[in-house]
Structure 1
Amino acid sequence: MTATDGSPAVGPPRGAAAPSTDPDRSPLSGPLPVARRRRVVPARARIMAWMLLLMAVVSLTVTVVTRNLLMQRVDAQVSAALQQEVQELQEVAESGVDRATQQPFRDVYELLYNHLQRQFPDDDEVLVGWIGPVETGEALRQNRAEPFPLADRPDVLMPILGSADTSGSAPTDAGEMRWVKAPVVHSANPGDSGAFVVGYLVDRDRAEVSETIQTLVLVSVLGLLFAGVAAWVVAGQILAPVRLVRQAAAEIGEHDLTQRIPVNGNDDIAALAEQFNAMLDRLEQAFAAQRQFVDDASHELRTPITIVRGHLELMGDDPADRAAVVRLCTDELDRMNRIVADLLVLAKAERPDFVRVEPVEVAELTSDIYAKVRAIADRRWLVEAIGEGVAHVDPQRVTQAMVQLAQNAVQHTGDGDDVLIGSSMLDGRVAFWVTDRGPGVPPGDQSKIFDRFSRGATGGASAHRSGAGLGLAIVRAIAEAHGGGVRLVSVPGQGASFGIDLPADRGGNR
Structure 2
Amino acid sequence: MTRSKPTGRLSASGRARVVAWILGVSALGMVLMLVSIVLTLRWVERDAIETSLTQESDEVAVFAQNGRDPETGEPFATPERFVGHYLERQRVEPTELMFGGTAATPVIAQIHGDAAAPVELLAPATRQAMEQPRSRGTLVDPTHGRISYANLTVTTPADTGHVVVAVFHERNEQRVMTQTLLLSALALAALAATAAAAWLVSSRILGHTVEFHRAVDASLKDRGLRRLPENGSEEYAGLARRANDLVRRADRRLEEERRFAEDVTFALRTPLTVIEGGLRNPGGDEQERRTSYRHIGAEATRVRGLLEDLVILSRLQQDDVVLERTPVDVGVLVATAAQAWRERHPDAADEPRLDVEAPAEGLTAVTDRARLVQVLEELLDNARYAVRFAPGSDLPRDLTAVTPLERTLSVRVREEERDGEPWAVVEVADRGRGIPEDDREEVFERLANASNDPYPGNGLGLPVAALLSTALDGELTLEPGPDAAGTVARLAVPLTADQDGEDA
TM-score by structure 1 length? 0.48
Instruction: Identify the structure with bigger relative contact order (alpha carbons < 8 Å, sequence gap 6+).
Output: 2
Determine which structure has more spread, i.e. the larger CA radius of gyration. Answer: 1
